[in-house]
Amino acid sequence: MAESVPVVIIDDNAGSVEMLSAALRQTGVSLHTARDPTEGVELVRQVRPRLVITDLVMPGLSGLDVLEQIMSFDPSIDVLLMTAHYTTETAVKAIRRGAADYLQKPVKIATLRTRVAELIASAELRKRAFSRESSESYEFEGFIAQSPVMWELLGMVQRIAPHYRSVLIQGPTGAGKDLVARALHRRSEVKGQFVVLNCSAVVETLFESELFGHVKGAFTGADRDKVGLFEAANCGTLFLDEVGDMPLSTQAKLLRAVQNQEILPVGSLRSRKVNVRVVAATHRDLRTAITNCRFREDLYYRLAMVELNVPSLKQRPEDIPLLARHFVQLFSSEYGKQINGLTPRALIVLERYGWPGNVRELEHVIGRACMLAETQMIDVRDLPSHLTGSNVPPESELPGMSSALDDQERRLVVRALVESQGNQSEAARRLGIGRDALRYKMKKHQVLSWISHAKHVGDY
CATH number reported for the structural domain that contains residue 110 in this entry: 3.40.50.2300
Mean pLDDT of 153-169: 86
For residue 22, what are the β-bridge partners?
A: none
**Cα separation of 310 and 320, whole Å?**
15
Is pLDDT of 357 > 70? yes
pLDDT confidence of 135, banded at 50, 70, 90? very low
Q: Which of 387, 322, 325 is nearest to 355 (CA)?
A: 387
In this prediction, residue 389 carries a pLDDT of: 63
What's the domain count of the chain?
4
The reply to whether 124 falls in a domain is yes
pLDDT of 137 higher than 70: no
Q: How far is it, in rounded angstroms, from Cα 168 to Cα 360?
A: 21
424 has pLDDT over 70: yes
Same domain, yes or no, for 256 and 181?
Answer: yes
Q: Per-residue confidence at 430, pLDDT binned at 50, 70, 90? A: confident
pLDDT at residue number 16: 87
Q: Are 437 and 392 in contact (CB under 8 A)?
A: no
Buried b (16+ CB within 10 A) or exposed e, 151-164: eebbebbeebbeeb
105 backbone dihedrals φ, ψ, rounded to 5°? -80, 150
- Amino acid letter for position 48: R
Residues 421 and 360 in one domain: no
Last residue of a domain, one of 261, 286, 310: 310
Last residue of a domain, one of 276, 310, 344: 310
The reply to whether 336 and 428 lie within a common domain is no
> Which pLDDT does position 32 carry in this prediction?
92
Q: Is residue 42 part of a domain?
A: yes
Residues 275, 278, 279: CA angle, nearest 5 degrees: 155
Same domain for 427 and 452, yes or no, is yes
Residue 7 CA to residue 27 CA, distance in Å, equals: 12
Give the model's confidence band at 180: pLDDT under 50 very low, under 70 low, under 90 confident, else very high: very high
Q: Is the pLDDT of residue 88 over 70?
A: no
| Of the listed ranges 212-221, 361-370, 412-421, the one predicted with least confidence | 412-421
Average pLDDT of the chain to the nearest whole number: 82
In this structure, are 420 and 447 located in the same domain?
Answer: yes
pTM exceeds 0.75, yes or no:
no
pLDDT tens, residue by residue, 276-325: 999 999 999 999 999 999 999 999 999 988 889 999 999 999 899 999 99
State the SS3 of the chain. CCCCEEEEEECCCHHHHHHHHHHHCCCCEEEEEECCHHHHHHHHHHHCCCEEEEECCCCCCCHHHHHHHHHHHCCCCEEEEEECCCCHHHHHHHHHCCCCEEEECCCCHHHHHHHHHHHHHHHHHHHHHCCHHHHHHCEECCEECCCHHHHHHHHHHHHHCCCCCEEEEECCCCCCHHHHHHHHHHHHCCCCCEEEEEHHHCCHHHHHHHHHEECCCCCCCCCCCEECHHHHCCCCEEEEECHHHCCHHHHHHHHHHHHHCEECCECCCCCEECCCEEEEEECCCHHHHHHCCCCCHHHHHHHCCEEEECCCHHHCHHHHHHHHHHHHHHHHHHHCCCCCEECHHHHHHHHHCCCCCHHHHHHHHHHHHHHHCCCCEECHHHCCHHHHCCCCCCHHHHHHHCHHHHHHHHHHHHHHHHHCCCCHHHHHHHHCCCHHHHHHHHHHCCCCCHHHHCCCHHHC
pLDDT band at 439 (very low <50, low <70, confident <90, very high): confident
Position with higher pLDDT, 130 vs 441: 441
pLDDT digits over 34-85, tens only?
A: 999 999 999 999 998 889 999 988 998 888 899 989 888 787 788 888 888 7
Residue 131's pLDDT is: 47
- Which pLDDT score is estimated for 460? 42
Q: Which domain holds residue 43?
A: 5-129
Mean pLDDT of 390-402: 39
What would the mean pLDDT of 110-125 be, rounded to a whole number? 77
Of the given ranges (209-218, 253-262, 292-301), which has the lowest mean pLDDT? 209-218
Q: Hey, how many other C-beta atoms are within 10 angstroms of the C-beta on 305?
A: 14
Query: Do 32 and 7 meet the contact criterion of CB atoms below 8 Å apart?
Result: yes
pLDDT at 95: 63
Span 210-214, average pLDDT: 89
pLDDT (0 to 100) of residue 8: 92
Per cent of the chain over pLDDT 90 is 36
CA 369 to chain centre: 14
- Domain containing 202 — which CATH number? 3.40.50.300
> What pLDDT sits at residue 257?
93
Q: Are residues 181 and 36 in the same domain?
A: no
The verdict on residue 265 lying in a domain is: yes
CB of 155 within 8 A of CB of 376?
Answer: no
Residue 1 has pLDDT above 50, yes or no: no
Compute the average pLDDT of residues 347-356: 90
Please indicate, yes or no, whether residues 112 and 174 belong to a single structural domain of this protein. no
Same domain flag for 174 and 238: yes
pLDDT at 89: 62
Clarify whether residues 227 and 288 are in a common domain.
yes
Residue-level pLDDT at 125: 56
CA gap 254, 61 in Å, rounded: 73
